[in-house]
């Protein structure tokens, strides 16, 4: 893969606001990840910039159709970044939604140690900054949240432990992370490795039936190559914290693949059923973990389900 220099783009990103001007490299980034939807709709306002959040420079991106009816806030999964969510953006724009997304700390175009975090509470501060930016940009309400995996964990944490904004619409959880698969063994390995190593090599998995996506990720210049022990420790602390959260009256929309080998989805669905009232669930028997980039037939099923729930 050639033609895209992430470091060069990071150094020229402006502060994102209603008057910010994209550097030329922003267009290169959109074209590289096939998310330049202004090519088909010249009235679509697209802006890429950064926002300072708890010591990080967080990259954010907005699509705004001229007569948008609502807004979708997108939270990506672990190792992911905004550039990989073109299918979600495309669907949202077809619903005439504005879209606001960000790269989490240590991911994509944001600053921070690769794929690491000090505490999952920092993710909540990033989400608060995303909501504040939606307000500053005067994005149309309601504001729906969609999270994939770790992004879904951030969203469900927000519902369970924070006071959601009045502008909040629906919350969509794709393959939500509560516990990863084989968590007890992973915790034991973490305790053994932590005193000696700050990270272990990343293990790539075929987490989608879309072979082109699986191959792309292995060569993506914005992918981290390691699993930091600091992130695993932060996850362990967060699991203990979130399991103690009180039951919520919210009713999130959950989509889960039954061929998911990344999260312990049976445990996670039981947890969510215990924490939320009448969660609306779609199970996809063949779908793997990365629902935002599953094959077309799987995406069509859950996007149809989401349209019904949001209508």
Residue 143 binned pLDDT confidence (cut-offs 50, 70, 90): very high
Residues 109, 112, 116, 122: is their CA dihedral positive or negative? negative
Residue 189 binned pLDDT confidence (cut-offs 50, 70, 90): low
Residue 190 binned pLDDT confidence (cut-offs 50, 70, 90): low
Structural domain contains residue 160: yes
- Segment 131-144 mean pLDDT: 98
User: In this structure, what CATH number is given to the domain that contains residue 212?
Assistant: 3.40.50.1820
- Whole-angstrom Cα Rg for the chain: 18
pTM: 0.96
Q: What would the pLDDT profile of 258-302 be if each residue is shown by its tens digit?
A: 999 999 999 999 999 999 998 999 999 999 999 999 999 999 999
Mean pLDDT, the chain, as a whole number? 95
| Burial of residue 290 (number of CB atoms within 10 Å: 0-12, 13-18, 19+) | buried
Question: What is the percent of the chain where pLDDT is above 90?
Answer: 92
- The number of residues in the chain equals 311
Q: How far apart are CA 81 and CA 102, in angstroms?
A: 8
For residue 292, report the phi and psi dihedrals to the nearest 5 degrees. -65, -20
The pLDDT assigned to 1 comes to: 45
- Segment 23-35 mean pLDDT: 96
Tally of domains within the chain: 1
Q: How far apart are CA 309 and CA 298, in angstroms?
A: 17
Q: What are 171's strand-pairing partners?
A: 145
Structural domain contains residue 221: yes
Structural domain contains residue 1: no
Give the residue among 166, 171, 142, 169 at the shortest CA–CA distance from 272.
171
User: What are 244's two structure tokens?
Assistant: 């103690």
- Segment 42-56 mean pLDDT: 97
Residue 66 domain boundaries: 6-310
Q: How far apart are CA 264 and CA 178, in angstroms?
A: 8
Query: DSSP assignment of 243-285, as one string?
Result: HTPPPBS---EEEEETT--SB-HHHHHHHHHHHBSS-EEEEET
Query: DSSP assignment of 99-138, as one string?
Result: EEEEPPTTSTTS-SSTT--S-HHHHHHHHHHHHHHHHHTT
């Amino acid at each position: 893969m050639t033609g895209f220099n992430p470091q060069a783009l990071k150094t020229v990103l402006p502060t994102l606001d209603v008057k910010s001007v994209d550097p030329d490299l922003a267009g290169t980034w959109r074209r590289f990840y096939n998310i330049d939807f202004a090519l088909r709709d010249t009235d679509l306002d697209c802006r890429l910039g950064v926002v300072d959040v708890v010591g990080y420079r967080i990259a954010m991106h907005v699509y705004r159709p001229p007569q948008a009816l609502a807004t979708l806030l997108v939270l990506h999964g672990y190792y992911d970044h905004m550039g990989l969510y073109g299918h979600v953006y495309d669907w949202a724009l077809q619903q005439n939604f504005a879209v606001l997304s960000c790269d989490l700390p240590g991911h994509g175009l944001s600053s921070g140690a690769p794929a690491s975090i000090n505490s999952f509470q920092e993710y909540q501060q990033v989400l608060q900054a995303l909501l504040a930016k939606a307000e500053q940009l005067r994005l149309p309400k309601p504001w729906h949240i969609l999270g994939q995996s770790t992004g879904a964990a951030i969203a469900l944490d927000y519902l369970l432990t924070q006071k959601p904004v009045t502008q909040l619409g629906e919350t969509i959880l794709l393959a939500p992370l509560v516990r990863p698969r084989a968590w007890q063994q992973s915790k034991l390995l973490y305790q053994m490795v932590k005193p000696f190593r700050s990270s272990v090599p990343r293990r790539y998995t075929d987490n989608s039936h879309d072979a082109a996506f699986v191959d792309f990720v292995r060569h993506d210049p914005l992918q981290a190559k390691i699993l930091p022990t600091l992130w695993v420790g932060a996850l362990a602390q967060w699991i203990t914290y979130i399991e103690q959260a009180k039951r919520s009256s919210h009713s999130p929309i959950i989509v889960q693949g039954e061929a998911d080998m990344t999260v312990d989805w049976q445990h996670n669905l039981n947890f969510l059923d215990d924490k939320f009232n009448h969660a609306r669930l779609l199970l996809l028997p063949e779908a793997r973990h990365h629902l935002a980039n599953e094959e077309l037939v799987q995406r069509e099923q859950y996007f149809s389900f989401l349209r019904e729930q949001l209508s």
